[in-house]
Structure 1
Amino acid sequence: MSSSGQNSSYDLSFKILLIGDSAVGKSSLIVSFISGSAKDIAPTIGVDFKIKLLTVADKRLKLTIWDTAGQERFRTLTSSYYRGAQGIILAYDVTRRNTFTNLSEVWSKEVELYSTNQDCVKILVGNKVDRESERAVSTEEGLALAKEFGCLFFECSAKTRENVDKCFEELTLKIMEVPSLLEEGSASLKRNILKQKPEPQASQEFGCCL
């Protein structure tokens, strides 16, 4: 997998959404993936998004990664951002058990309620594995929940960058395996090209006198 911040041309465009409780490290995972470094991030207010250009399976991709606030008071703000997402990352903190149980009790229900895309690819991500001595959720439990959700599973560390690139890359590969999502990614690209196209001048359209 390679990334290119300079080249603005791409073959496919996908929308990825990160959800989960506050302070599980959603923003840190995104920053770690995009900039290759992990630093302390302030809590997200409402919704933020970042763009990453990368190449996966010989395709140049534009990922628009939406970062949602985990606090309950922002929930109503974020519901509309599920719309049109081809990939959803459900994140929890392996050192805080409640962030894991909330995936079943809160977040998976929100996906069912708000996701407009039945074929949307989901991935379960346990973050902060660098704090192994504080672990409160086992790898086996994570795997079991991912099986229940019917989705991919990764344990990551935004701090050490362990599995961060792999998690986004595998999610993208899975999206590209679904024909309807691949079609959406191409359609999104075409819409962007049309938007950028200048309006033709009448003199260019008609070369002869009427």
Structure 2
Amino acid sequence: MARRLDEDYDYLFKIVLIGDSGVGKSNLLSRFTRNEFCLESKSTIGVEFATRTLQVDGKTIKAQIWDTAGQERYRAITSAYYRGALGAILVYDVTKPITFENVSRWLKELRDHADANIVIMLIGNKTDLKHLRAVSTEDAQGYAEREGLSYIETSALDATNVESAFHLILSEIHRIISKKSLPSSESATSVKEGTTLVVGPQDGAGKRACCSGS
């Protein structure tokens, strides 16, 4: 019965998580989908995804969140990884300036591979480490405004703004979808009857171990 209820949704939205290794992408994923956090997290190998069904603007949305390794050796998966994604969350670590500097490279890759109309959100993660902050909110907000991105700061550890971030991007995707009739080529991962591309072996898809990612 639980499985049937889980499949009762109005839209399926695929969202990809991108950013350097170690910025907290996998813990954002596990916090949002399972309300879990693991301090002993390890780098994601290849691709994993998890789902959560929730109410957004009066509709039942099934969010399919994909998490990929930030390491260079897994970059060959990019074109397939981005295919069908309606939203992207670009994550950096507020305590590590290099991860913020690399945001531009990730954004270029995203715009090279993803649909031109993809909704993009920039997240500054690990705000719980206040004494270690090295990237100011003002700098990140300014960058996001220049690039036309929404911006929010989060902590996967203490759950600050994690729900808000995902709700905001899902709401924006739904607002855009609601305003236009989707061509059939775009409907694959956005409507209930669609199919979803799976990259790589499925054994690890939606893996529930909390220590599975960065």
In the other structure, the counterpart of 1:39 is 38
Displacement of 1:46 after TM fit? Answer: 1.1
In the other structure, the counterpart of 1:9 is 8
Change (3 A) 1:95 1:187: closer
Partner AA of 1:78 in structure 2? T
2:139 maps to 1:141: yes
Change (3 A) 1:64 1:113: same
In the other structure, the counterpart of 2:209 is none
CA deviations over 1:102-138 (Å, ceiling 9, x no partner): 011x1011012111x1111000000000001000100
* Rg comparison, structure with higher value: 1
CA deviations over 1:131-176 (Å, ceiling 9, x no partner): 0100010000110111122011000000000000000000001111
In the other structure, the counterpart of 1:177 is 175
Displacement of 1:42 after TM fit? Answer: 1.8
Kept after mapping to 2: 8 A contact 1:94/1:136: yes
Kept after mapping to 2: 8 A contact 1:5/1:53: no
Secondary structure of 1:173's counterpart equals: helix
Change (3 A) 1:5 1:112: same
In the other structure, the counterpart of 2:80 is 80
CA deviations over 1:180-208 (Å, ceiling 9, x no partner): 7874378631235xxxxxxxxxxxxxxxx
Gaps of 5+ in 1: 193-210
Partner AA of 1:79 in structure 2? S
Secondary structure of 1:107's counterpart equals: helix
In the other structure, the counterpart of 1:128 is 126
Q: Which protein is richer in helix relative to its size?
A: 1
Which of 189, 192, 198 matches 1:189? 192
TM-score (norm 1): 0.83
Kept after mapping to 1: 8 A contact 2:52/2:62: yes
Partner AA of 1:143 in structure 2? Q
Secondary structure of 2:168's counterpart equals: helix
Alignment size in residue pairs:
187
**Superposition CA RMSD, Å:** 2.0
TM-score (norm 2): 0.82
In the other structure, the counterpart of 1:196 is none
Kept after mapping to 1: 8 A contact 2:10/2:191: no
Change (3 A) 1:71 1:53: same
In the other structure, the counterpart of 1:159 is 157
Kept after mapping to 2: 8 A contact 1:121/1:171: yes
CA deviations over 1:66-120 (Å, ceiling 9, x no partner): 101100111112332111110000000000000000011x1011012111x1111
The 4+ residue runs of structure 1 with deviation greater than 6 A are: none
Kept after mapping to 2: 8 A contact 1:14/1:185: no
2:27 maps to 1:50: no
Larger RCO, structure (CA 8 Å, separation 6 or more): 2
Cα distance in 2 for partners of 1:18, 1:133 equals 26
- What does residue range 20-35 of structure 1 map to in structure 2 within 5 Å? 20-35=19-34
Change (3 A) 1:102 1:55: same
Gaps of 5+ in 2: 196-214
